[in-house]
Structure 1
Amino acid sequence: MKGVPIQSFSRAIAALKAINRNRSMTMMEISRAANVPYPTAHRIVQTLLYEGLIEQEPARKRYRPTLLVQSLSSGYQHDGVLVEAARAPIVDLTRKVGWPVSIAIRVGKNMMLCDSTHANTSLTFAQYYPGFTLPLLDSASGKLSMAYADDDERAQILKWMRADQDIDPNYLAAAELALNAEGIRARGYAVQGRNYFNHTPGKTSSIAVPIFKQGRFEAAMTLVFFASALKLENALESYLPEMLATARTIGEALDKAVAEPVAA
């Protein structure tokens, strides 16, 4: 049936994504991250080793991605202009407010970081690099992306998620009801009170605003802060105007890049 994934292939992709995201993992960590039994994780790792996508670290039973993983994206050119347009503005924003800022786009059922300023501030619990993914319905950037998606596109994404055996249908139904896409578009931002799908579950909150290119949603810009340091409403009052201004600056740079002819 169309749209139904091959489970073994999906598991191998989940393992490779986890290894790439975490940079180095043990077999048990891979098993947990990919949500597969240990023997299955072992077979997946052996296959990825054979294909040259990962390697075992010297003198340690840990596995890390190889440069061959990076080569898989060689034909994909979506976010180069976006990162170039966003880099200076998000660094300036972090310099002003102190908190890290990231740029993310939707990739399948997740949001993927294209760039972030976690390395530019001490106000972060962990470093996040391009390629790190967050769930669509449990992140501020994901909610924002879903809200600005066309109705047909949003319906198709939710259909894919319902077909995913790894997603609890009760969770999905509750998250879908709580999305309130119309409210997010009316406000012009989305929030996540507690971020549970990152390196420090439950310790941070986030606000995401849209970046537009030629009037259409292009990416989400997210500011992350310690949940213990600020209430969400106070963070919105303090940072939302600067965030919206920064997003507009990035959008203007994207529009300019489209309008300018590409140099030969």
Structure 2
Amino acid sequence: MEKGVPIRSITRSIAALKAINRHGSLSMMEIARAAKVPYPTACRIVQTLAYEGLIEQEPARKRYRATPLVQTLATGFQHDDELVCIARRHIVDFTRRAGWPMSIAIRVGREMMLRDSTHSNSSLTFENYYPGFTLPILDSASGRVSIAFADDEEREQILQFMWISQDIDNAYLSTAEISLDVERIRAEGYAVQGRNHHNLTPGRTSSIAVPVFRNGRFEAALTMIFFVAAMKISEAVERYLPEIKATAAAISHDLSNGAPAGSA
């Protein structure tokens, strides 16, 4: 893929559409904040998306929501569900034993996308999360694991693209990149995120993530999520990290050896 500066107007329009889709509906001001654009620019983006039939204004309310046409954008998408099929029984077993929900996510662009989770299998959660939910790659334990275990060239491309993106503050990115500590994550085999701020309950949960491999190559991030009020990260690492790693190792083994989904 050629390296270059993204087309800013397209990037902003996609950010607006993703925000509307994520929240169900948004006002014009909320769209402007989500896309990080001035209000007049948000108006032009909304007019364009509405003209293309991707969003519509709600009846009797000045809020905008996605239309069924958005679904057609995914009709050509093909994804191997083997990861989900194989991982499912392992993460359900973990949650049954430990109580805490577990998720498995893959990197999609600059975000981590949830492929499956056991939030609905546990009472130790504030919200249910479904496939397609996204988290920023530098502000999540799963994202840090994804970057750390990516090939050197791939990691460089991810970070370079984030540097040239116009919607990310350079001071923030510099601090986040420094705190990434790739060598430590690779050596210790896990990453943490204290007080997740980009989920549905900001600041109320923390996470521990480990890598899942297919034939020695990074495939996904496996994450345990727990209440901030329940325990410190250091305590969670001491109590649960060995079992989290064991779960990831079992999934990696099955992925690499082609174990049938749901097999014992």
Q: TM-score with structure 1 length normalisation?
A: 0.89
> Aligned runs of 1:23-42 on 2, under 5 Å?
23-42=24-43
Aligned counterpart, 2:199: 198
**1:29 Cα offset (Å):** 2.1
Give the superposition deviation at 1:118. Answer: 2.1
Q: Which amino acid aligns with 1:36?
A: V
Q: Deviations over 1:15-63 (max 9, x none)?
A: 1111222233233222221112223222222222222222334444433
Matches within 5 A, 1:1-264: 2-257=3-258
**Which runs of 5 or more residues in structure 1 are unaligned?**
none
Distance 2:221 2:77 in 1: 19
Cα distance in 2, alignment partners of residues 239 and 2 from structure 1: 41
Q: Aligned partners of 1:60 and 1:256: how far apart in 2?
A: 54
The 3 A distance-change label for structure 1 pair 203 and 63 is same
Q: Runs in 1 of length 4+ with deviation above 3 angstroms?
A: 55-62
2: CA distance, partners of 1:88 / 1:71:
31
Query: Please, which moves more after superposition, 63-72 or 227-236?
Result: 63-72
What is the alpha-carbon distance in structure 2 between the residues aligned to residue 16 and residue 64 of structure 1? Answer: 9
Paired residue type of 1:29: E
The number of residues matched between the two structures is 259
Q: 1:57 to 1:245 in 2, by over 3 A?
A: farther
What amino acid does structure 2 have at the position aligned with 1:222?
A: T
Residues of 1 paired with 2:206 and 2:116: CA distance?
18
Could you tell me how far apart the structure 2 residues matched to 1:133 and 1:171 are? 20
**8 Å contact 1:105–1:112 — kept in the other structure?**
yes
Q: Is the 8 A contact 1:79 1:114 kept in 2?
A: no
Deviation by residue 1:118-177 (Cα, 9 ceiling, x = unmatched): 222232223322222212221101110111011121111111111012212122112212
Letter in 2 for 1:102: S
AA aligned opposite 1:251:
S
Tell me the amino acid that sits aligned with residue 150 of structure 1. D
Alpha-carbon contact 1:21-1:131 (below 8 Å) kept: no
Q: Tell me the secondary structure at the aligned position of residue 122 of structure 1.
A: coil
Structure 2 counterpart of 1:16, which letter? L
Q: Superposition RMSD on alpha carbons, in Å?
A: 2.1
Q: Which stretch of the first structure deviates more once superposed, 50-59 or 85-94?
A: 50-59
Q: Does structure 2 conserve the Cα–Cα contact (< 8 Å) formed by 1:212 and 1:218?
A: yes
Counterpart of 1:26 in structure 2: which amino acid?
S
Residues of 2 paired with 1:68 and 1:222: CA distance? Answer: 33
DSSP-derived class of the 2:213 partner: strand
Distance 1:91 1:70, change over 3 A: farther
The sequence identity of aligned pairs, in percent, is 66
Counterpart Cα distance in 1 of 2:120 and 2:30: 25
Determine helix, strand or coil for the equivalent of 1:167.
coil
The amino acid that maps onto 1:112 is M
Secondary structure (helix, strand or coil) at the match of 2:221 reads strand
User: Which amino acid letter does the alignment assign opposite residue 178 of structure 2?
Assistant: L
TM-score normalised by length of structure 2: 0.89
Describe the shift of the 1:233–1:24 C-alpha distance in structure 2 as closer, same or farther (beyond 3 A).
Answer: same
Q: Following the alignment from structure 2 to structure 1, what is the Cα–Cα distance between the partners of residues 35 and 171? A: 21
- Give yes or no for contact 1:56–1:64 (8 Å, CA) kept in 2: yes
Distance in 1 (CA, whole Å) between partners of 2:80 and 2:25 is 25
